[in-house]
């Protein structure tokens, strides 16, 4: 098994997840448990809002983003040497509804070595894009990745 280290991820690189469909039952179950606003769980009440129907909870959208990220950087044959993430900026640009087809576009837009040895910091833009190629959600975050061990050089 190969590991993808900080040095292996070029600044400017763009990675795409496979497309996935927002599942209505999963979306409703998440909202009933975690975010039970009427526009997240009640079709009739949601139709009366400016959304015109049930929309996904922000927490569920973040869950979809996490899940889709794992198809990019947690591959069995080459997992990234991810050490943690922090410093989030989140934007919900458009409502997400059941049946929407989304993909995650992850862009590396800045990198630098950490002041602590053995690690680097990368800034990522994770963007969920719908079937019309519209950006519905953006999360910018700083992630820490391990640098290549000296024994691997």
Domain ranges of the chain: 6-152
Q: Specify the CATH superfamily of domain 6-152.
A: Hotdog Thioesterase (3.10.129.10)
Spans of the chain below 50 pLDDT: none
% of the chain beyond a pLDDT of 90 = 93
Q: What is the pLDDT of residue 153?
A: 58
For the chain, what's the residue count? Answer: 153
Backbone φ and ψ for 37, nearest 5 degrees, come out as -70, 145
Q: What is the pLDDT of residue 131?
A: 97
Taking alpha carbons only, the member of 112, 102, 108, 107 closest to residue 133 is 102
- What are the pLDDT digits (tens) for 14-25? 999 999 999 999
How far, in whole angstroms, is CA 32 from its chain's centroid?
Answer: 22
- Beta 78-79 vs 20-21: how paired, if at all? unpaired
Q: What is the pLDDT of residue 152?
A: 63
Q: What is the pLDDT of residue 151?
A: 76
Q: What is the pLDDT of residue 75?
A: 85
Query: How far is it, in rounded angstroms, from Cα 118 to Cα 147?
Result: 5
């Amino acid at each position: 098994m190969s590991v993808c280290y900080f040095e292996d991820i070029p600044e400017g690189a763009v990675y795409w997840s496979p497309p996935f469909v927002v599942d209505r039952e999963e979306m409703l179950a998440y909202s009933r448990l975690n975010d039970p606003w009427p526009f997240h769980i009640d079709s009739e009440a949601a139709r009366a809002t400016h959304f015109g129907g049930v929309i996904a909870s922000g927490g569920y959208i973040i869950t979809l983003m996490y899940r889709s990220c794992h198809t990019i950087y947690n591959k069995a044959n080459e997992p990234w040497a991810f050490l943690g993430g922090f410093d989030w900026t989140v934007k919900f640009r458009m409502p997400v509804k059941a049946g929407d087809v989304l993909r995650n576009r992850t862009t590396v837009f800045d990198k630098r070595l950490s002041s602590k040895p053995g690690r680097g910091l990368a800034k990522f833009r994770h963007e969920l894009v719908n079937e019309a190629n519209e950006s519905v959600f953006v999360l910018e975050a700083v992630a820490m990745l391990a640098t290549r061990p000296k024994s691997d050089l």
